[in-house]
């Protein structure tokens, strides 16, 4: 009986924590939704950001657009480090708040996707638009010796 | 390409052989003829040779640069060092499946070899064919999936020509590609050679306990024989899985430049889930051995641990969860889903069928007993696994079932931190409790000194914080208001000296060390008094005669050390992010000044180094001034009267021409008390250097904790005391 009481208390505490966690969750929005009144001033996570232009590295200021819906551009400012492999065209994860006065998104977290070993795209399956200009091993055009 | 075709044929043969072994085991079982079973046993050695040969062929292809093979082309290149070329076997999905299959057959062959002795035991003999039936079923699945994914697949001439043209790669007179597209730049790191095999050894080792558990259910041999055999195999799995998880964290720390090592990413969670259930099993198995309790629970833990290893594989290969890592898509996830369904269905059906036989003979008699501590420990570990599992799918659940896109990255820490605290408390109290029932007087006597020592330790700790200027205000240390109480839910946002988590976790870590120390002392004192042994003999006899018990205590000390390292390095981290410097200019971080002294660009690739290098040398000097806050430029230069050079660190950014990607290699100066960690992610044409510096205190304790845990586990696994279970008895 004691065990069941302890287990019940334990589980109740956990359920309460889960409830608090869910209640305090951060909404995930797209770049296109960033200017919306219900989003301004609220901490959000941006799901479809893609870097378009880098303005400065310290502080980190850059422009993102939506990966899926082209058009809207949003300026992002962050006090954080420049993430790995940060460049125009790369997908970024952002967390922060849209500041209406500055008209920019102030990001507390900026992450780039880690190119994992299990990534789906394979060079051989979709030969990409690689120019080969810096290819050290085999300069010049295709050679068949 | 012939060698690769041969490798594929070997894999096909291995697939066929699993069917043959399965049939031999079945015949041995039905006809009650041991000759079939012994033949099946030999079959596992052949199976190991076939999968090993198949993997060897692929490695041969990597080393000799057979770039007409799509897999080799995608993950390798001429300039890679040979060690990395060998490791390329597990660089991608297809090869990692082949490697996984090889490891499963390796463990299966080892288990078959063990049966040369364990089949002398009547129960071992009865279980043997069932074990082989389960093992071959698992191996068959992996052989089949690997064969379908086909790491040996060669490209057509048209495809090669297209790649050669678009990627500017030379072809030889036979029309073969002479170079590959290169290994993913994140993987060109020595940890890539070490970490994946260790982790895979941990994952695949769970196949053996699963096979033994399912065989016990199939045969109805649910006595204590199988559980004693399975313990040592679980130790093997636990040791490799623990090492794999910690090494993965250390790889992330070394590679990713964010100064941390754990982020609750699905990849990390995938390995942590079976660790939780496996650790729970290693504790609850003792209750079954001692008290004949929790038989059903132990079986469930074993079955769940294996299930979770496959769930982890599915998570990281199906693209079902969103992660900072990019995962594969395709239909491989569907195959794993079917496999998971099959495992769950078979396990649960058999479990339900044998449930009556799984009733123990004893009952829990007192809350103040070691059994109850283990039982609670099991509950907490399983709860942690459940929470981590649920939160790994949090985004997906909120999106798919509630139509909302929600995230709560702080939820992992919020929910798991109190559970970890309870776990540490039980780890500390456990050794003070006896089996069956402990009197309050005995518990008080056992706990008094360790508890008093821990309280003194916490007091001294806060005195130290005060003397070093690390102590926050009363409101920051203790939750004195409702707002402060609500902040407890976000441990990572607390003041470094906050009682929760810092004081609680460091105090509990010390509590563990002190209870274990007192346990050692009590044992030694008892031997010295009863058997008149001197102190060294008493210590030696104590630990050798009960190596399981005292090895386990050493693991607990390792956990305490690891916890101290984690708390110190995460709560007392000092950082200066994204400082903009030029050569000769300094940034002050903690008591140090960090100055770039030289910047060099090497824009050529070399054998073994398939990248350009943008190198920056940093000089780290200690400034005796007490001022901790960060200062820049001229302000920092003034602050340095008597400087002591602490380290010269070389950081670099690497450019991989084939991938057109830049990647940064952090530089770490490791000291006993702290790591000086420099991350150089960006430079610009004006000569500006953007740098982030972390001071991570007591990182060395994470290494030390890991070594201690593994050392203790190895010592506990050595069969020097007790029965030689599963062997000749």
Distance between B560 CA and the closest CA of chain A, angstroms = 24
Domain residue ranges in chain B: 1-183, 411-545, 584-702
Closest in B155, B168, B257 to A138, CB measured: B168
Q: What does the pLDDT look like over B173-199, one tens digit per residue?
A: 888 999 998 888 888 888 999 999 999
- What is the average pLDDT across B144-152? 95
Q: Is it the case that residue B429 has pLDDT exceeding 70? A: yes
Confidence (pLDDT) at A129: 34
Q: Which of B42-51, B595-604, B638-647 has the lowest mean pLDDT?
A: B638-647
Q: Is it the case that residue B119 has pLDDT exceeding 60? A: yes
Q: Is it the case that residue B616 has pLDDT exceeding 80? A: yes
The answer to whether the CB of A88 falls within 8 A of the CB of A49 is no
Where residue B292 falls (left for φ over 0; alpha for ψ -120 to 50; beta otherwise) is: left
Q: How far apart are CA B515 and CA B451, in angstroms?
A: 8
Whether residues A124 and B267 touch (CB distance < 8 A) is answered with no
CATH of span A25-112:
2.40.50.140
Q: Which of B36-45, B217-226, B295-304, B674-683 has the lowest mean pLDDT?
A: B217-226
Name the residue with tokens 């033949």: B39
Q: How far apart are CA B177 and CA B68, in angstroms?
A: 6
Q: Which of A63-72, B11-20, B337-346, B439-448 has the lowest mean pLDDT?
A: A63-72
Q: How far apart are CA B195 and CA B210, in angstroms?
A: 24
B492 and A CB contact within 8 Å: no
Q: Which of A10-14, B181-185, B201-205 has the lowest mean pLDDT?
A: A10-14
**Can you name the residues that pair with B695 across neighbouring β-strands?**
B574, B676
Which DSSP symbol is given to B156? P
Question: Which 3 state secondary structure label does DSSP give B400?
Answer: helix
Confidence (pLDDT) at B627: 47
Q: How far apart are CA B125 and CA B215, in angstroms?
A: 12
- CA proximity to B7, closest of B60, B76, B58, B82: B58
Residue in B94, B170, B402 to test binding to A, most A beta-carbons within 10 Å: B170
Q: What does the pLDDT look like over B694-724, one tens digit per residue?
A: 999 999 999 999 999 999 999 998 887 654 4
Contacts of B681 in chain A (CB under 8 A): 81-84, 86
Dihedral through CA B283, CA B285, CA B288, CA B289, nearest 10? -100
- CA proximity to B438, closest of B450, B429, B451: B429
Q: What does the pLDDT look like over B225-284, one tens digit per residue?
A: 888 889 989 999 999 999 999 999 999 998 888 888 988 888 889 999 999 999 999 999
Task: Label residue A67 by pLDDT band (50, 70, 90).
Answer: confident
The DSSP code sequence of B113-142 is HHHHHHTTSHHHHHHHHHHHHHHHHHHHHH
Length, in residues, of chain B: 729
Q: How far apart are CA A116 and CA B59, in angstroms?
A: 21
Q: Is it the case that residue A84 has pLDDT exceeding 70? A: yes
Confidence (pLDDT) at A133: 33
CB under 8 Å to B595, separation ≥6 — which residues? B581, B584, B585, B586, B587, B618, B619, B620, B621
Residue of B631 and B464 predicted with greater confidence: B464
Confidence (pLDDT) at B626: 52
Alpha-carbon torsion A35, A38, A40, A45, what sign? negative
Whether residues B179 and A137 touch (CB distance < 8 A) is answered with yes
A41 and B CB contact within 8 Å: no
Confidence (pLDDT) at A140: 27
Domain residue ranges in chain A: 25-112
Q: Is it the case that residue B555 has pLDDT exceeding 90? A: yes
Confidence (pLDDT) at A82: 86
- What is the average pLDDT across B8-31? 97
Percent of chain B past pLDDT 70, that is, above it, reads 95
Residue in chain B lying closest to A88 (CA): B661
Q: Is it the case that residue B402 has pLDDT exceeding 60? A: yes
Rounded to 5°, the CA angle A22-A28-A32 comes to: 155
Confidence (pLDDT) at B666: 92
Residue of B727 and B703 predicted with greater confidence: B703
Confidence (pLDDT) at B667: 94
Closest in A2, A24, A57 to B682, CB measured: A57
The answer to whether the CB of B512 falls within 8 A of the CB of B450 is no
Whether residues B405 and A29 touch (CB distance < 8 A) is answered with yes
Q: Is it the case that residue B325 has pLDDT exceeding 70? A: no
A143 and B CB contact within 8 Å: yes
Question: Which 3 state secondary structure label does DSSP give B655?
Answer: strand
- What is the average pLDDT across B410-423? 90
Task: Label residue B436 by pLDDT band (50, 70, 90).
Answer: confident
B389 and A CB contact within 8 Å: no
Percent of chain B past pLDDT 90, that is, above it, reads 65
Residue in B405, B412, B437 to test binding to A, most A beta-carbons within 10 Å: B405
Q: What does the pLDDT look like over B346-358, one tens digit per residue?
A: 999 999 999 998 8
Confidence (pLDDT) at A127: 42
Q: Is it the case that residue B81 has pLDDT exceeding 60? A: yes
The answer to whether the CB of B37 falls within 8 A of the CB of B132 is yes
Prior bond of B112 cis (ω within 30°) = no
Confidence (pLDDT) at B419: 92
Confidence (pLDDT) at B366: 81
Contacts of B658 in chain A (CB under 8 A): 130, 135
Confidence (pLDDT) at B636: 58
Rounded to 5°, the CA angle A18-A19-A22 comes to: 85
**Can you name the residues that pair with A99 across neighbouring β-strands?**
A104
Residue of B529 and A68 predicted with greater confidence: B529
Confidence (pLDDT) at B639: 54
CB under 8 Å to B95, separation ≥6 — which residues? B58, B71, B75, B88, B89, B151
At A110, give phi and psi (nearest 5°). -130, 120
Task: Label residue A122 by pLDDT band (50, 70, 90).
Answer: very low
B686 and A CB contact within 8 Å: no
Q: Is it the case that residue B454 has pLDDT exceeding 70? A: yes
Confidence (pLDDT) at B599: 93
- What is the average pLDDT across B187-214? 94
How many other C-beta atoms are found inside a 10 Å radius of the C-beta of residue B522? 15
Euclidean distance between the first and final Cα of chain A, in Å?
83
- CB interface of B with A, residues 586-625, below 8 Å: 604-605
CB under 8 Å to B676, separation ≥6 — which residues? B592, B594, B620, B646, B647, B649, B668, B669, B693, B694, B695
Residue of B555 and A5 predicted with greater confidence: B555
Alpha-carbon torsion B346, B351, B357, B360, what sign? positive
Q: How far apart are CA B237 and CA B305, in angstroms?
A: 10
- What is the average pLDDT across B218-229? 87
Confidence (pLDDT) at A4: 77
How many other C-beta atoms are found inside a 10 Å radius of the C-beta of residue B356? 7
Q: Is it the case that residue B448 has pLDDT exceeding 60? A: yes
Name the residue with tokens 């964010």: B258
Residue in chain A lying closest to B192 (CA): A117
Q: Give 3-state DSSP helix, strand, coil % of chain A, rounded to 5.
A: 15, 35, 45
Task: Label residue A114 by pLDDT band (50, 70, 90).
Answer: low
Residue in B74, B88, B317, B326 to test binding to A, most A beta-carbons within 10 Å: B326
- What is the average pLDDT across A103-123? 70
Confidence (pLDDT) at B337: 92
A5 and B CB contact within 8 Å: no
Q: Which of B415-419, B598-602, B623-627 has the lowest mean pLDDT?
A: B623-627
Confidence (pLDDT) at B570: 92
B164 and A CB contact within 8 Å: yes
Q: Is it the case that residue B126 has pLDDT exceeding 90? A: yes
Confidence (pLDDT) at A15: 80
Element (H, E) at B667: strand B667-670
Residue of B546 and B360 predicted with greater confidence: B546
- CA proximity to B178, closest of B76, B322, B290, B300: B76
Confidence (pLDDT) at B424: 97
Contacts of A82 in chain B (CB under 8 A): 578, 681-682, 690
Element (H, E) at B76: none
Q: What does the pLDDT look like over A15-51, one tens digit per residue?
A: 877 777 777 788 888 888 888 888 888 889 898 889 9
- CA proximity to B699, closest of B590, B594, B567: B567
Confidence (pLDDT) at B255: 84
- What is the average pLDDT across B201-211? 97
């Amino acid at each position: 009986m004691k065990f069941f009481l302890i287990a019940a208390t334990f589980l109740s505490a956990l359920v309460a924590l889960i409830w608090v966690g869910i209640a305090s969750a951060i909404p995930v929005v797209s770049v296109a939704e960033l200017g919306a009144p219900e989003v301004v001033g609220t901490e959000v996570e941006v799901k479809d950001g893609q870097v378009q232009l880098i303005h400065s590295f310290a502080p980190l200021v850059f422009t993102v657009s939506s990966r899926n819906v082209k058009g809207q551009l949003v300026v992002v400012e962050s006090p954080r480090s420049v993430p790995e492999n940060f460049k125009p065209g790369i997908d970024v994860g952002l967390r922060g708040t849209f500041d209406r006065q500055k008209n920019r998104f102030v990001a507390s977290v900026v992450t780039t996707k880690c190119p994992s070993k299990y990534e789906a795209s394979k060079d051989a399956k979709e030969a990409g638009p690689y120019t080969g200009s810096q290819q050290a091993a085999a300069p010049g055009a295709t050679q068949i010796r | 390409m012939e060698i690769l075709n041969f490798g594929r044929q070997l894999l096909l043969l291995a697939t066929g052989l699993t069917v043959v072994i399965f049939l031999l085991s079945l015949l041995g079982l039905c006809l009650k003829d041991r000759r079939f079973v012994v033949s099946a046993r030999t079959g596992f050695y052949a199976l190991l040779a076939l999968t090993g040969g198949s993997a060897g062929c692929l490695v041969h292809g990597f080393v000799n640069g057979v770039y007409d093979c799509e897999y080799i082309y995608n993950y390798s290149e001429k300039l890679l060092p040979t060690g990395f070329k060998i490791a390329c076997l597990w660089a991608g999905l297809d090869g990692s499946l082949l490697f996984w299959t090889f490891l499963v057959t390796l463990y299966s062959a080892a288990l078959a070899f063990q049966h040369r002795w364990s089949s002398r035991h009547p129960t071992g003999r009865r279980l043997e064919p069932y074990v082989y039936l389960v093992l071959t079923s698992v191996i068959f699945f992996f052989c089949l999936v690997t064969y379908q994914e086909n790491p040996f697949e060669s490209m057509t001439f048209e495809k090669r020509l297209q790649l050669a043209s678009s990627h500017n790669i030379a072809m030889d007179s036979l029309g073969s590609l002479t170079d590959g597209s290169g290994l993913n730049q994140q993987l060109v790191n020595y940890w890539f050679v070490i970490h994946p095999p260790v982790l895979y050894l941990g994952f695949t080792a769970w196949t053996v306990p699963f096979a033994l558990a399912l065989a016990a259910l199939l045969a109805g041999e649910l006595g204590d024989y199988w559980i004693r055999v399975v313990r040592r195999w679980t130790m093997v799995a636990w040791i490799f899985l623990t090492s794999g998880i910690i090494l993965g964290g250390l790889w992330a720390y070394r590679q990713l430049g964010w100064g941390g090592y754990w982020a609750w990413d699905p990849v990390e969670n995938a390995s942590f889930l079976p660790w939780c259930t496996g650790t729970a099993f290693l504790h609850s198995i003792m209750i079954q051995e001692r008290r004949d309790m929790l038989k059903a629970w132990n079986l469930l833990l074993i079955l769940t641990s294996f299930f979770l290893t496959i769930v982890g594989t599915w998570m990281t290969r199906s693209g079902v969860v969103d992660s900072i890592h990019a995962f594969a898509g395709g239909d491989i996830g569907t195959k794993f889903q079917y496999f998971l369904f099959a495992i769950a269905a078979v396990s649960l059906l058999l479990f339900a069928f044998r449930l009556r036989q799984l009733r123990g003979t004893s009952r829990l008699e007192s809350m103040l007993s070691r059994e109850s501590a283990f039982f609670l420990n099991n509950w907490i570990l399983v709860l942690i696994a459940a929470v981590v599992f649920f939160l790994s799918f949090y985004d997906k659940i909120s999106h798919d079932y509630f139509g909302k896109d929600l995230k709560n990255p702080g939820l992992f820490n919020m929910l798991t931190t109190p559970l970890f605290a309870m776990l540490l408390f039980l780890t500390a109290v456990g050794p003070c409790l006896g089996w069956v029932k402990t009197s309050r007087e005995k518990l008080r006597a056992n706990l008094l000194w360790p508890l008093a020592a821990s309280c003194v330790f916490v007091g001294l700790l806060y005195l130290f914080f005060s003397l070093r200027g690390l102590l926050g205000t009363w409101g920051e240390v203790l939750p004195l208001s409702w707002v402060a109480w609500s902040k407890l839910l976000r441990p990572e946002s607390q003041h470094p000296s906050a009682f929760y988590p810092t004081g609680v976790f460091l105090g509990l870590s010390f509590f563990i060390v002190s209870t274990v120390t007192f346990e050692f002392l009590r044992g030694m004192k008892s031997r010295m008094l009863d058997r008149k042994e001197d102190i060294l003999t008493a210590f030696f006899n104590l630990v050798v005669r009960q190596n399981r018990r005292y090895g386990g205590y050493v693991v607990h000390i390792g956990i305490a050390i690891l916890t101290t390292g984690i708390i110190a390095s995460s709560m007392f981290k000092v950082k200066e992010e994204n400082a903009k410097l030029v050569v000769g200019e300094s940034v002050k971080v903690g008591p140090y000044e960090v100055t770039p002294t030289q910047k060099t660009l090497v824009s050529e690739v070399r054998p073994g180094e398939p990248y350009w290098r943008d190198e920056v040398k940093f000089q780290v000097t200690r400034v005796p001034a007490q001022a901790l806050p960060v200062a820049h430029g001229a302000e920092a230069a003034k602050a340095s009267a008597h400087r002591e050079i602490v380290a010269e660190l070389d950081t670099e950014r690497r450019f991989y021409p084939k991938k057109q990607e830049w990647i940064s290699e952090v530089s770490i100066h490791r000291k006993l008390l702290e790591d000086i960690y420099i991350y150089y992610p960006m430079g610009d044409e004006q000569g500006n250097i953007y740098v982030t510096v972390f001071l991570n205190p007591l990182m060395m304790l994470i290494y030390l904790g890991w070594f201690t845990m593994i050392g203790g586990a190895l010592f506990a696994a050595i069969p020097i005391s007790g029965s030689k279970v599963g062997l000749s008895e």
